[in-house]
Chains A and B, each alone.
Chain A
Amino acid sequence: MSRVHKIFRKFYKIGLVLFLAIFLLFIFDEIQNLDIKRYLSEHYISEGVQETGAINLVTSVLYDYRGFDTLGEATVILTAAATLSFMTPIKKVKMLGTEFTIIIYQTIIIIIPFLVVLGMNLIFFGHISPGGGFVGGVILAMIPILVTINYGITFSENKLKPNHKSLLEGIGAIGFILLGLLGIFAGSNFLASGQANFGLGNPGELISAGLIPYLNLMIGIKVGAGLAAIFNSLIKEG
């Protein structure tokens, strides 16, 4: 009896999932045949470079038109890092370690400068080439993660203390908000850089696009420090 019941429940779940899949198939069919004109994205494509000064349109959407969204994302990362730091013990430092060969230790030493250069390049050229603060921050966060995996958590936390990581993260968050307040002081809205005429410059040069490079730098610092803190909190638990 119980076995029949279990089999029935299993088939019931599978049938439910298949039914919902067919339902979604019809909805996607409708979406695909919908013929709409995308006025907003056409406006961004035709006017975005003049209005924001950044030739990377994703960056201009992310940091100028929708700067508030980005502030929300930064808050999400800050909340996740804070939650993980609260949940893990501060004193007990222990992790499962393995011994690697000397090849790996020496390769990490060679790789780290290239990672710094790549991350900084992605952050500072975020408005004129593919990249941006989030991607560059992730690449920068790989350095503490590699050091932690290879040399152990004690060495890693001696080199870059958790207090310094949280300080860097706070600098990123507060800097983003202060740069946003500059828009209000210039007589425009919060987080406005294109509307407030902060020296947009020639599109395509390094120092152009108003506040966007500085906002990119703040987000990069914040994401890098936040991800390193998250990883160290997760690995400390073991």
Chain B
Amino acid sequence: MELPYVVVIILFYLGIYTIIMNKNLIKIVVGVNIVESSLILLLILISFKLGGTAPILDRKYELVVDPIPQALALTAIVIGGSLIAVMLALVIKIYKRYGTLNVDEIRKLRG
């Protein structure tokens, strides 16, 4: 087991732990962001080859890293950014309506 995969697992479950343990909505959004970061790191690790060059073939090359996971990582980054923006806007709306960010209090108020 190589160390980077362990780092991916630690980051992923740190994000999951943040989501399920915190009551503050902003911290839940931060947890979602941490989970996304771990997934992007996993995609880069899958494409990595020891001694490979970047997939830009402008000179002689011997070994090139896999270009497909890098393109998928770009997709993940873009979708993650849009998702975080929409989540933050919803959090702002919730705060304006209920006056609190605590999940339990919002559930008690209910409308």
Chain B residues near A17: list those with CB within 8 A.
13, 16-17, 20
Q: Which chain A residue has the least Cβ–Cβ distance from B92?
A: A237
- In the assembled complex, the Cα of A165 lies from the Cα of B99 at a distance in Å of 32
- Interface residues in B55-88 (C-beta closer than 8 Å to A): 55-58, 64, 66-68, 70-71, 74-75, 77-79, 81-83, 85-86, 88
Q: Are B2 and A32 within 8 A (Cβ)?
A: yes
Tally of chain B residues near chain A (CB < 8 A): 40
- In the assembled complex, the Cα of A40 lies from the Cα of B68 at a distance in Å of 9
Chain B residues near A24: list those with CB within 8 A.
9, 12-13
Binding site for B on A (CB under 8 A): 10, 13-14, 17-18, 20-21, 24-25, 28-29, 32, 38, 40-41, 44-45, 48-49, 55-58, 60-62, 66, 69, 73, 76-77, 79-80, 83-84, 87-88, 128-130, 132, 134, 204, 223, 227, 230, 233-234, 237
A-B contact pairs, 24 of them (CB 8 A): A10-B21, A13-B21, A14-B17, A24-B12, A28-B1, A41-B67, A45-B57, A55-B58, A57-B64, A57-B67, A58-B71, A58-B74, A62-B74, A66-B71, A73-B79, A76-B79, A76-B82, A80-B86, A83-B89, A130-B56, A132-B74, A204-B58, A230-B85, A233-B89
Q: Which chain A residue has the least Cβ–Cβ distance from B52?
A: A45
Q: Are A234 and B78 within 8 A (Cβ)?
A: no
Chain A residues near B68: list those with CB within 8 A.
40-41, 44, 61
Q: Are B89 and A73 within 8 A (Cβ)?
A: no
Binding site for A on B (CB under 8 A): 1-2, 5-6, 8-10, 12-13, 16-17, 20-21, 54-58, 64, 66-68, 70-71, 74-75, 77-79, 81-83, 85-86, 88-90, 92-93, 96
